[in-house]
Amino acid sequence: TFSPALLKIGVLLSTHSLQYFFTTVTPGISLPEFTAVGQVDAEQAEYYDSNNRTLVLKVNWLKKSDDEEHWKMKLQSAANQEELNKSLLSEVLKLLNQTKQKFHTLQRMTGCELDDDGSKRGYDQFGYDGEDLVRLDLNSETWIAAVPQVLPFTQTSSTQPSIQFIQHACINWVQKYVKYGKSVLERKDRPEVSLFQKNSSSPVVCHATGFFPKAVMITWQKNGEDLNEDVELRETLPNQDGTFQKRSILTVSPEELKNNNYTCVIQHSSLEKELVLLVSDRKVLSGRRNLSKSKTLKSLTDVSDKKGL
């Protein structure tokens, strides 16, 4: 069944995903008119463009797969997407009363996610020149227009090819690729965690990095009770080595920190039990506490500066 749930009874589920980005541009510039990028668990795995018309496998565990018929089928699928998306761009140009003489871009993002308990999710959405255009609503099985000019498209275009892809082909491919890359995609890398402030009056940052898979939970507690106010959870970001990082930011006054017991709680599938970090043990990188400027602290300062903390 397709479900939005990621958490069941407090257990963090492992999720695998397959995502495709299709980009179509008006002709007459140096870029390929069509490019397709496939990502498995947020890592680029496949590439195709209209200049070369070959399917390029970007990760070793796919290159080693002995499945020639599958890759022939995927190459044909990419060629079909090229033809379809070029046609869609022409249709959108007509609906918006624009011409190919100017540079325009049609972007499409479609894919699916599969949890280890069998829950599934999927999506298909289009953007035009960087703005939302159309998205698929799986519940009503209809296209939802972001701008009124494309209503004719939403009323005449069938949703069934997209739904069939999301619910069947995409899920089957996820399962296939996870088998191919099991040693990489199902590994468990523990997070490295830290708790710090830029100075004694700035927000407190709870930071986890180097973990895999992507799913992680970072929460706060105040005097043993869950805390949702004064908290900002940032998006999970990729690291260059294929792992991920995430941070959550607590913004309270120095008096609040002093007079209450705050903790940061981190849950990840690589951990036998949750990690609990005491805010009272945090590092203050500058200000009232004169800590030595080690390389680690300097790197944390650099990260927080980049994030605008």
Which is more confident, 291 or 233? 233
Q: Which of 122, 156, 185 is the last residue of a domain?
A: 185
Domain containing 197: what range?
192-306
Q: How far is CA 155 from the centre of its chain?
A: 30
Which is more confident, 300 or 130? 130
Half-sphere exposure of 133 (CA within 13 A, CB side): 23
d(CA 87, CA 91): 6
Structural domain count, the chain: 2
What is the predicted pLDDT for the residue at 65?
Answer: 87
45 and 127 share one domain: yes
In a domain, 1, yes or no: no
22 and 136 share one domain: yes
In a domain, 71, yes or no: yes
208 and 287 share one domain: yes
Q: Which of 142, 158, 185 is the last residue of a domain?
A: 185
In a domain, 108, yes or no: yes
246 and 144 share one domain: no
Token pair for 48:
């195709």
Token pair for 89:
């761009």
Q: How far is CA 90 from the centre of its chain?
A: 29
In a domain, 216, yes or no: yes
**Tell me: the pLDDT tens digits for 247-277?**
999 999 999 999 999 999 999 999 999 999 9
Task: Tell me the average pLDDT across 108-134.
Answer: 96
Listed in sequence order, the residues at least 6 apart from 291 whose beta carbon sits closer than 8 Å to its beta carbon are: 283, 284, 285, 297
158 and 201 share one domain: no
In a domain, 126, yes or no: yes
**Tell me: the pLDDT tens digits for 218-254?**
999 999 999 999 999 999 999 999 899 999 999 999 9
32 and 87 share one domain: yes
d(CA 202, CA 205): 9
What is the predicted pLDDT for the residue at 60?
Answer: 93
**Is the pLDDT at 302 greater than 60, yes or no?**
no
166 and 259 share one domain: no
Q: Does the global pTM surpass 0.75? A: yes
228 and 171 share one domain: no
66 and 154 share one domain: yes
180 and 300 share one domain: no
Q: Which of 158, 185, 212 is the last residue of a domain?
A: 185
Q: What average pLDDT is seen over the chain?
A: 89
Instruction: Give percent of the chain above pLDDT 70.
Output: 88
Token pair for 186:
């199902």
**Tell me: the pLDDT tens digits for 61-91?**
999 888 899 999 999 999 999 999 999 999 9
In a domain, 2, yes or no: no
In a domain, 58, yes or no: yes
Angle among Cα 216, 179, 109 to the nearest 5 degrees reads: 60
169 and 56 share one domain: yes
Contact, 215 vs 257, CB < 8 A?
Answer: no
What is the predicted pLDDT for the residue at 12?
Answer: 65
196 and 181 share one domain: no
Token pair for 283:
């590092």
CATH of the domain at 52: 3.30.500.10
- Among 88-102, 188-202, 260-274, the range scoring the smallest mean pLDDT is 88-102
In a domain, 255, yes or no: yes
The DSSP line for the chain is -B----EETTEEPPEEEEEEEEEEE-SSSSS-SEEEEEEETTEEEEEEETTT--PEE-SHHHHT---HHHHHHHHHHHHHHHHHHHHHHHHHHHHTT--TTS--EEEEEEEEEEETTS-EEEEEEEEETTEEEEEEETTTTEEEESSGGGHHHHHHS-SHHHHHIIIIIHHHHHHHHHHHTHHHHT--BPPEEEEEESSTTSPEEEEEEEEBSS--EEEEEETTEEE-TTEEEPPPEE-TTS-EEEEEEE---HHHHHHS-EEEEEE-TT-SS-EEEEGGG-EE-SSSS-----HHHHHHHHHHHHTT-
CATH of the domain at 252: 2.60.40.10
